[in-house]
Structure 1
């Protein structure tokens, strides 16, 4: 035995023992291949390699650790997930169907030896899967479903094909990433959307009361708000036959319950806004209160992920669609891409800029209403709000209303406009 040392590995050269004819034929068949389990781990086993006339035995001082990167495509669903594990060369080493069980998912990713990157699409339950997988892998990427479809669409769609496509795109660094907000921002989104859900339920109950009165041919009195103090008193004392009277009583009880829950959520929103500097800055804009301030901040997240205001406008879906081919250039309606919640909040704020009639935003809205319709004016003011928000959050400054812009007649020349 002739020992030699290479780094921390001891290589022993041992003359082969005498073998029978059967053993000689087996030896001439070629080198010993690693097993399937060792190939899955990406490491060759410390096995014997047969050369010409010598037996090389490689013995390491400590067990090897796999350093190859695994690329995992995860197609998630409500009950089942499909996972594909791939190496850097595109070879699939493992693929299986996993139930939507936290313990099963944790056990699977704990058994992966070596660093791993995981990609999953931004579907309805991605947050829960992301929080379960993140502690056990090196990185988790969130893919934009619409852009993934544009890059790699397949005529036949299965969970296995989707997971394999995601793994290939991740290995090639072609994943169109979606923004993963921090945990605090995700909680803000849940709070403001929960309030919006309660308000919508409250509105549906109010509409049911209006329908009930219309069925009985009852015209409400001239109250400014049918569901205010005087209006509720009139509804309570209104004589209605059964079953309409019982339905009226249940609807009013539901309204009271919804109002109580909305007040509880608003107290949480008020406390969150008070503890957040950016939200207090947004409150200085005319037409934006505490609820809209937190909603806008939750949908934007980190303002520095947008390089310029145009990207923020595009994220809000307030930019016109464009078709350009050769000498043809057309602009159409809004793209309606990005965050629908942010777009709704900005348009809602544009509807209330009249609360500060001397502000530049209110005057812009008034000038646009004189030339175009009200809907177009509101969208234009919402787009202007995007640029203002970008400057405020980037510089951490409150809203400052400058002097009003000079009113220039429509027939003025370009020199006068400048």
Structure 2
């Protein structure tokens, strides 16, 4: 017997739930979560729109007893039958309809939350390193973060800038330790035998992140939909006879987009298809634009490998 389905629209202060033809309103706090549990039977499928941080506590509370589906706002916006004026009540109903029509493709475990943490920690590490390099220059040293250079800096005495250097080094060590922890946890929540790992350039960590963010690839019926979901689709404007590229849309999943960008940096060296694409386009594109184009190409390859369930083949 198919499990019943509910949709919950989340905002900062309230929750609107659609379940079996009825609408309910609750407060977005523990009391509201308890009221929801009184209505929904165990095992119910629950569609919740990802809304910043406001959906996180609700999702965690329900995950023990319910099949929770975290739905990207971009999917809700682009849902085929989404019509009419936007409202909380309409959104709650549409969330339930998405779960019914698209099955089990949405990531339901803590994997998605882990990827968000990994992305935050990774970007924090970059910021700390940039600040460290800035402080080293202020102290009159090279901006190298090599152990030898840092040991020399730390022996130089005291001062306000040097105190910050010590603090930042401790913060960097803590962040890098947490990053390693997250990567180990991610390995345990995604399939280790996924064909994504046959794609040169997509290593263990980035492969896990992409799988966790994508969920079931079958919800993307063609490569264009998947590329758009990643926010890697090009924006082109035409005026008269001229056509101008405005870069990428950036409307999709930011974590997924960054994962493909990082993977592309490796793929241009080890993936024959991406290497060839890079060489063919480096005369027209440069810097980040070229890497982004390679990331888009890598996303298309990933979609094909997962959608058709066939290992990577450079000859195709």
TM bucket (normalised to shorter chain) is: 0.7 to 0.9
Offset, 1:140? 8.1
Q: 1:341 maps to what in 2?
A: 255
Offset, 1:214? 3.3
Q: 1:312 maps to what in 2?
A: 226
Offset, 1:168? 7.2
TM-score (norm 1): 0.58
Q: 2:136 maps to what in 1?
A: 213
Q: Superposed, which structure 2 residues align to 1:14-413 within 5 Å?
A: 74-78=8-12, 80-83=13-16, 97-101=26-30, 103-107=31-35, 110=38, 121-124=49-52, 125-130=54-59, 144=73, 147=77, 151-153=83-85, 162-166=87-91, 181-184=106-109, 187-216=110-139, 218-220=140-142, 226-239=144-157, 241-270=158-187, 276-278=192-194, 281-321=195-235, 332-333=245-246, 334-356=248-270, 359-402=272-315
CA distance 1:263–1:82, shift in 2 (3 Å):
closer
Offset, 1:304? 1.4
Task: Give the number of the structure whose residues are more often helix, by fraction.
Answer: 2
CA distance 1:129–1:362, shift in 2 (3 Å):
same
CA distance 1:210–1:76, shift in 2 (3 Å):
same
CA distance 1:329–1:120, shift in 2 (3 Å):
farther
If you compute each CA radius of gyration, which structure gives the higher value, 1 or 2? Answer: 1
CA distance in structure 2 between the partners assigned to 1:314 and 1:360 by the alignment: 21
CA distance in structure 1 between the partners assigned to 2:165 and 2:70 by the alignment: 51
- Contact map agreement 1:143 1:175 (CA 8 A) in 2: no
- Contact map agreement 1:109 1:137 (CA 8 A) in 2: no
Identify unmatched segments of 5+ residues in structure 2: none
Offset, 1:369? 0.4
- Contact map agreement 2:186 2:208 (CA 8 A) in 1: yes
SS in 1 for 2:183: helix
Which stretch of the first structure deviates more once superposed, 138-147 or 201-210?
138-147
CA distance 1:289–1:128, shift in 2 (3 Å):
same
Identify unmatched segments of 5+ residues in structure 1: 1-69, 155-161, 404-418
CA distance 1:362–1:99, shift in 2 (3 Å):
closer
CA distance 1:348–1:165, shift in 2 (3 Å):
same
CA distance 1:233–1:177, shift in 2 (3 Å):
farther
CA distance in structure 1 between the partners assigned to 2:310 and 2:99 by the alignment: 35
* Superposed CA offset, 1:194-231 (max 9, x none): 23322322222222222323334x0317xxxx223323
SS in 2 for 1:277: coil
CA distance in structure 1 between the partners assigned to 2:274 and 2:39 by the alignment: 58
SS in 1 for 2:313: coil
SS in 2 for 1:321: strand
SS in 2 for 1:347: helix
Offset, 1:109? 5.7
CA distance in structure 1 between the partners assigned to 2:302 and 2:291 by the alignment: 16
CA distance 1:289–1:111, shift in 2 (3 Å):
closer
- Contact map agreement 1:118 1:140 (CA 8 A) in 2: yes
- Contact map agreement 2:62 2:68 (CA 8 A) in 1: no
CA distance 1:137–1:310, shift in 2 (3 Å):
same
CA distance in structure 1 between the partners assigned to 2:27 and 2:73 by the alignment: 22
* Superposed CA offset, 1:171-210 (max 9, x none): 9x799999962323xx222223323322322222222222
CA RMSD in angstroms, aligned pairs only: 4.4
- Contact map agreement 1:314 1:337 (CA 8 A) in 2: yes
